[in-house]
Amino acid sequence: MKKRFAHIAAGLAFVLASGIAINAYSQVKPETLVKQRQSAMNLQGKYFYGHLRLTAQGKVPYDAKMVARNAAYLDALAGMPWDGFTAATKDVKSAATPAVFSEPAKFKDAVDHFLAETAKLVALTKGTDEAAIKAQILAIDKSCGGCHDTFRERQ
Amino acid sequence: MKKRFAHIAAGLAFVLASGIAINAYSQVKPETLVKQRQSAMNLQGKYFYGHLRLTAQGKVPYDAKMVARNAAYLDALAGMPWDGFTAATKDVKSAATPAVFSEPAKFKDAVDHFLAETAKLVALTKGTDEAAIKAQILAIDKSCGGCHDTFRERQ
């Protein structure tokens, strides 16, 4: 997991610390960054709430291939929103709470936890332990909710 | 590639043909489907136009790790929009042209072409042939443009 987050940290560093990259990325308006991170969250919702959680809850029939595909999609999407939470986006209207910007270490921990849980699900979907897969989906659900409690305005 | 598209086709079938799945998915409003597919397109733009194409054009320095990561992201995102183009979304305001719905075989071919080009890029990023990687990024750019010419309203 450290490795996964290092990857994201590297992405942030790429945006924030590299002069030439800044020239490329600084053209991205704060509004666009917000739209992009919201897009990643929307798609996490599509695959997680729209299928994986329904599967864990027994509301749709268990389809191992679809679960594995959607877990892989979620894992990719899990890496995408965070470099959109730059200081420049602080005043753009969104569901992010001020805590995202005032408590970056806590936010990073929450993200890190989510990435760890998602990676565990991907690993489990290489096997056939349906009960463990369903339990891990519910662990991810807790991770989503735990982060949203502090870092997303109540919807 | 056939395999990749079969996977998507299976996703569509999952949505369109399975009774129980329909119960789960039919709660998704056409407006939500449009928002989800637009989210996938936005994120393709983030990683493709916002980094990969700039790299191929020599506008940002070549970073092999970042190119490989973003190619993998693009490859995942490449599978995500298409099940959002259901007949129910035909009259929802979006940039999709009527041809998406009136010429489904042609639309499928364009999607198939995009998936093939993206998979080729992912394969190339396992190696170190920078020139081939850059050429393949530009091939993807053509594929995007070719599809948009017919299936996206002029922006």
Q: Which amino acid is at B109?
A: D
Chain A CB contacts of B38 under 8 Å are 39
Identify which of B20, B28, B146, B24 has the alpha carbon closest to the alpha carbon of residue B89. Answer: B28
d(CA B14, CA B18): 6
Token code pair at residue B26 = 């039919």
Site of tokens 């973003």: B70
Please give the mean pLDDT across all residues of chain A. Answer: 87
CA dihedral B105, B75, B129, A2 (to 10 degrees): 180
* Predicted local distance difference test score (pLDDT) of residue A120: 98
d(CA B125, CA B86): 33
Lowest mean pLDDT among B19-23, B31-35, B136-140, B142-146: B19-23
In angstroms, how far is CA A126 from the centroid of its own chain?
21
Please check the confidence at residue B125 and state whether its pLDDT lies above 80: yes
Q: What angle do helix axes A30-47 and A64-78 make, rounded to 10 degrees?
A: 160
Mutating which of A39, A49, A74, A115 best tests the B interface, going by the most B Cβ atoms within 10 A?
A: A39
Please check the confidence at residue A24 and state whether its pLDDT lies above 60: no
* Predicted local distance difference test score (pLDDT) of residue B27: 75
Please check the confidence at residue B5 and state whether its pLDDT lies above 70: no
* Predicted local distance difference test score (pLDDT) of residue A48: 97
d(CA B44, CA A107): 25
Can you list the pairs that A2-10 forms with residues at least 24 positions away whose Cβ atoms lie under 8 Å?
A4/A79, A4/A115, A4/A116, A4/A119, A5/A108, A5/A111, A5/A112, A5/A115, A7/A79, A7/B69, A8/A79, A8/A82, A8/A83, A8/A111, A8/A115, A10/B65, A10/B66
Over residues A53-64, mean pLDDT: 95
Q: Is-contact A38 A94, C-beta < 8 A?
A: yes
Other beta carbons within 10 Å of A109: 13
Over residues B110-116, mean pLDDT: 97
Label residue A15 by pLDDT band (50, 70, 90). Answer: very low
Residues 50-109 of A with CB under 8 A from B: 50-51, 54, 59-61, 63, 65-66, 69, 72-73, 76-77, 79-80
What domains sit in chain B, N to C, each tagged with a CATH number?
A: 29-151 (1.20.120.10)
Q: What is the pLDDT of residues B29-77, one digit of tens each?
A: 999 999 999 999 999 999 999 999 999 999 999 999 999 999 999 999 9
Q: How far is B95 from chain A (nearest CA, A)?
A: 17
Identify which of A42, A77, A74, A69 has the alpha carbon closest to the alpha carbon of residue B37. Answer: A42
DSSP state at residue B89: G
Q: Which amino acid is at B136?
A: Q
Label residue A26 by pLDDT band (50, 70, 90). Answer: low
Q: What is the pLDDT of residues A63-104, one digit of tens each?
A: 999 999 999 999 999 999 999 999 999 999 999 999 999 999
* Predicted local distance difference test score (pLDDT) of residue B26: 53
| Binary contact (A28, B50; C-beta < 8 A) | yes
| Cβ partners under 8 Å of residue B32, min gap 6 | none
Say whether the ipTM exceeds 0.90. no
Q: What is the pLDDT of residues A125-142, one digit of tens each?
A: 999 999 999 999 999 999
Residue in A closest to B45 by C-alpha: A36
Whole-angstrom CA distances from A139 to A5, A109, A143, B62 are 19, 16, 6, 38
Q: How far is B20 from chain A (nearest CA, A)?
A: 7
For B23-154, strand residue ranges (E) read none
pTM: 0.86
Q: Is-contact B86 B30, C-beta < 8 A?
A: yes
d(CA B99, CA B142): 19
* Predicted local distance difference test score (pLDDT) of residue A6: 46
